Amino acid sequence: MGIKEELAAELKDALKKGDSRRRDAIRQIETEVAMARTAPDDVDDELYRRVISAYVKKMAKAAREYRQLGDRGREMADKLEFEVDYLSRWLPTKLGEEETRRLVAETIARLGTAGDPKAAGRVIGTIIREHKDEVDGGLVARLVSEELGSG
């Protein structure tokens, strides 16, 4: 079963159970997919993954900002964090910080760029190109910067 079909089944279940948080998250993804597609027949799992990934990234950032507001932003932060957690199940699993740190160290050693802060872009580019779906780009950038002494 593809992501589109899974989401349709989840929406039906959410409607039956009166689960407005799931319902709203799924409807938002369907809206985002409708805006992202270029032709009616190009809707596939890859499009859903790209849309969900972009949406999750935006909502995670917004949730962090709402958390900074304290009590005033708690309800909205909770809602957005639910959406991020719920929708993340359709995304590829990313490497954690320790695994990413090992990957950064291995890539720096392989490229021979240790101690050269100017090589950060080359190292980051190599890792992203080789491990696009496995790593978080922001985490890679931070760890490369730390390892090369440019951060």
Q: What architecture is domain 3-90?
A: Orthogonal Bundle (1.10)
Rounded to whole angstroms, the Cα distance separating 36 from 34 reads 6
97-148 adopts what CATH topology?
Answer: Arc Repressor Mutant, subunit A (1.10.10)
Mean pLDDT of 71-75: 94
pLDDT at res. 43: 78
Query: According to CATH, where is 1.10.1510 located in the chain?
Result: 3-90
In this prediction, residue 83 has a pLDDT band, given cuts at 50, 70 and 90, of very high
Which string of DSSP letters, residue by residue, matches the chain? --HHHHHHHHHHHHHHHT-HHHHHHHHHHHHHHHHH-SSTT---HHHHHHHHHHHHHHHHHHHHHHHTTGGGGHHHHHHHHHHHHHHGGGSPPPP-HHHHHHHHHHHHHHHT-TT-GGGHHHHHHHHHHHHTTTS-HHHHHHHHHHHHT--
Mean pLDDT estimate for the chain: 90
pLDDT at res. 85: 92
pLDDT at res. 27: 96
CA-to-CA dists, residue 1 to 4, 5, 13, 45, 125, angstroms: 8, 6, 16, 10, 34
pLDDT at res. 39: 66
Rounded to whole angstroms, the Cα distance separating 29 from 106 reads 37
**Span 93-150, pLDDT tens digits:** 888 889 999 999 999 999 999 888 899 999 999 999 999 878 888 889 999 999 988 6
Mean pLDDT of 3-28: 95
Mean pLDDT of 22-32: 95
pLDDT at res. 104: 94
Over 80: is that where the pLDDT of 54 sits? Answer: yes
- Smallest CA-to-CA distance from 25 within 3, 52, 61 is with 52
Q: Are 133 and 91 in contact (CB under 8 A)?
A: no
Is the whole model's pTM more than 0.75, yes or no? no
pLDDT at res. 40: 66
Query: According to CATH, where is 1.10.10.410 located in the chain?
Result: 97-148
